[in-house]
Structure 1
Amino acid sequence: MKEKRATSLIFAIMVLDLLGAGILLPILPYYVRAYRTDALTVGLLSLAFSAAQFLSSPALGAVSDRIGRRPVLLWSIFGSAAGYFLFGLAGSLWMLFAARLLDGVTGGNISTAQAYLADISAPGDRARNFGLVGAAWGIGFVAGPALGGALAGFGLAAPAFGAGVCSLLTFAAAYLFLPESLPSARRAQSGVTLAAVNPFRQLAWGIRHASLAPVLAAVFLFHFPMAGLQSNFSLFTLEKFAFTPSDNAWAFVFLGVMVSLLQGLILRRFVKDFGKTAYLYLGLWIMAAGYVVLAFSPNVAILYVSMVLTALGSSLAAPTLTALVSQCVPEDQQGAALGVNQSVLSLTRVAGPVWAGWLFDVWGPPAPYWTAVFWLGCALLLISARRGR
């Protein structure tokens, strides 16, 4: 019962946290267009957040292995609130970048929540419980974009202030109700050294780890094109279908509903009935089909079909990859491994939006999506090779 209560609490906190992130999604490209109109600048804004998150995530993961998950989670959530409020107050492009950098430096929210789930879950239940992260993303991207689209009617800065309020509510909920998940006896006993908080050293540790390295590489290849999609989907629909911020808000709402239903209900109910690697294979194939349909969608109806496919593929593959990362290390390295995993995700959000923005400007709006099939194929080959050893 205690485990179920803690799981419910961390899920509620993730939903509130991702609600704040979801609020900004439909309006971000429109906000940037007040200063620059190219897709690459939108990608560079995503790069600023993700580069800062890459530098900080291993440190936050290592610290959480030593002092516990709760204080690190509280720090991360408060930093997100400050970043959102600064974004809303920004009156220039450089202030937008500064706001995203601040949010990124403190951006250990989800990786710390994943480590929390790993602490309270039996190894066999981790894939099922990591599915809660996807469900939280789904709910955040249902209510968040809808709220962001509504708030945009009061000005483009209003969604940023709304996101800041959501983060403050998340902080309050975590401070008041969330217990610590990592007992002192299970914490890493060594002090936090410069080597432990060096993101490149931590990343190198993950790369040298024989069983972890191929999984981390597959994580990168899977999320790289997805990061590009998340950063310029609103630009794609604006260029191809003349979507307004409200239209994009409803598109993200639809995608969020699909992810929430798939990961919150189907994956958690049926994951034990399937082999994990087969589950991942199926997700990669469906995801590839979704990208192709998205790239060449002739109308809005087919666009929505592509979103169903990408949501299904992601719901099958993403939590399984996270579970594989968790299973590669012992209990006292969960925070470090998931921190490195978050660093890899941050690298995809550094490279993916810039790559997608460049392709969008040079090769045309569909290019970031049909080229995604190549990256997913590489991930499939890596996982197949790992299984064969």
Structure 2
Amino acid sequence: MLVIFLTVVLDLVGFGLVIPLLTFYAEEFDATPQQVTALMTVYSLAQFVAAPLWGQASDRYGRRPLLLASIFMTAVMLAGFASATSLWMLFLFRTLHGVMTANIAIAQACMADLTTPETRAKGMGLIGAGFGIGFTLGPWLGGELAQGGHLTRPIWVAAGLSLLNFLLGLWLLPETRKPGSHAERRPINPLALWRAVQHPAVGLCILLTGVFIFAFAAMESTFTLFAEHEHHLKPEQIGRMFGVIGVVGAIVQGGLIHRLVKRFGEAALLPPAFLMVAAGLIVMPFAPLGGALLSTFALIACGQGVVSPALQSLVSRGVPADAQGEVMGSNQSMGALARVFGPLVGGFLFQNVNRGAPFWLAGGLMVAAAGLSVLAGRRAMEHRSAQVA
């Protein structure tokens, strides 16, 4: 489990390094606000297409070779992104980078292979903690390395970390998929996401993943613009802001989620967690710079730290072992689809309606998700009871 955790940490640190400087880097190529958010969108569109294919391929051919290949190619795409000389090259390498980083579905399938249904939330929480650490160190390091206008320096460091991740994986990463599964004879289905959302036990949970990530992406993609225009923050300061989400999220997912799930269950935790995220998003545009603004980030991080592993655990527990790659890939694909539209809608609202509008829309969606999560949890529990019977 720790090997998978380390792989995710290095993967996400490399991803997070780019976040605080992406807007400024794109603006060097005369990108408009909507082109900046579109640059984030193409990354997610590529993940939407690639994630189910990576997941199904790992069910069929094994987790280790595909995870290692995608990590190595991530380093190549980051190097290309840092070497770009025009806006279209930024879009090209950002898109290919998205294809490669759709490999998180494979890491989640590895964790599902290594855990029991009872410890599934703990395992997914460990991956979530890896996300948290990645989003803590990545944006912070990216902001610090970008000081003085050195915007490509963090991207080269991210490429180096991906190469290091590949070398460590060659040495430490085991094959977790059990041989002889039905998936070895099952053809890869490009419409796996559509099949997954119709599943009686996990379909609504996957849809909730999409709603949650849409809201989070709308906030994440426009906050850099909001902070630049409203508070006149620099890349390193924005990186520290996102670091708060990483620190708090890592604490919740790495240390608290297993105890919370053991006591209350995943289904009972989802509604209050969604409402916490809603409160942080709605208040954020009104919060003055300083402790108040940081508090909204902390509130969002606490809710996110529960929502993500709880949904992933419910999704994973709803399908058999030989379909873990497919269902986790479909879940990641839904999240990626949300990241396609979240930044686009957020950027449109920011530019054409009101600078606070993306945050208020996201908060309203979280209130709706809190209500839907009651039904999703009930369906998951009914399916689990039927399996036991």
Q: TM-score, normalised by structure 1?
A: 0.93
Shift in Å, 1:324: 1.0
Is the counterpart of residue 174 in structure 1 residue 169 in structure 2?
A: yes
1:304 to 281, 286, 294: 294
Shift in Å, 1:37: 5.1
Q: Which whole-Å CA distance do the structure 2 matches of 1:170 and 1:52 have between them?
A: 22
Structure 2 CA distance for partners of 1:268 and 1:385, relative to 1, 3 Å: closer
Is the counterpart of residue 141 in structure 1 residue 141 in structure 2?
A: no
Equivalent residue, structure 1, for 2:277? 287
Shift in Å, 1:292: 1.3
Q: TM-score, normalised by structure 2?
A: 0.93
Q: Which whole-Å CA distance do the structure 2 matches of 1:304 and 1:103 have between them?
A: 30
Q: Which whole-Å CA distance do the structure 2 matches of 1:66 and 1:265 have between them?
A: 33
Q: Is the 8 A contact 2:272 2:370 kept in 1?
A: no
Is the counterpart of residue 207 in structure 1 residue 201 in structure 2?
A: no
Shift in Å, 1:238: 0.8
Is the counterpart of residue 78 in structure 1 residue 72 in structure 2?
A: yes
Which structure 2 segments of 5+ residues have no match?
380-389
Structure 2 CA distance for partners of 1:350 and 1:209, relative to 1, 3 Å: same
The letter of the residue matching 1:361 is Q
Is the counterpart of residue 189 in structure 1 residue 184 in structure 2?
A: yes
The CA deviation string for residues 47-96 of structure 1, in whole angstroms up to 9 with x for no partner, is 11111111111111111001111111112211211111111001111111
The letter of the residue matching 2:247 is V
The equivalences for 1:22-101 within 5 A come to 22-36=16-30, 38-101=32-95
Equivalent residue, structure 2, for 1:360? 350
Q: Is the 8 A contact 1:73 1:108 kept in 2?
A: no
The equivalences for 1:104-115 within 5 A come to 104-115=98-109
Q: Which whole-Å CA distance do the structure 1 matches of 2:38 and 2:235 have between them?
A: 20
The letter of the residue matching 2:163 is L
User: For 2:30, what is the secondary structure of its paired residue?
Assistant: coil
User: For 1:106, what is the secondary structure of its paired residue?
Assistant: helix
Shift in Å, 1:273: 1.4
Q: Which whole-Å CA distance do the structure 2 matches of 1:51 and 1:67 have between them?
A: 24
Q: Which whole-Å CA distance do the structure 1 matches of 2:107 and 2:359 have between them?
A: 30
The letter of the residue matching 2:133 is I
Q: Is the 8 A contact 1:219 1:344 kept in 2?
A: yes
Is the counterpart of residue 234 in structure 1 residue 229 in structure 2?
A: no
The equivalences for 1:272-351 within 5 A come to 272-351=262-341
Structure 2 CA distance for partners of 1:9 and 1:134, relative to 1, 3 Å: same
Is the counterpart of residue 117 in structure 1 residue 111 in structure 2?
A: yes
Shift in Å, 1:187: 5.5
Q: Where has structure 1 moved over 4 Å in runs of 4 or more? A: none
User: For 1:292, what is the secondary structure of its paired residue?
Assistant: helix
Which structure 1 segments of 5+ residues have no match?
1-6
User: For 2:28, what is the secondary structure of its paired residue?
Assistant: coil
Q: Which whole-Å CA distance do the structure 2 matches of 1:320 and 1:134 have between them?
A: 10
Equivalent residue, structure 1, for 2:368? 378
Structure 2 CA distance for partners of 1:268 and 1:384, relative to 1, 3 Å: closer
Q: Cα RMSD (Å) of the superposition?
A: 1.5
Structure 2 CA distance for partners of 1:21 and 1:388, relative to 1, 3 Å: closer
Shift in Å, 1:387: 4.3
The letter of the residue matching 1:171 is F
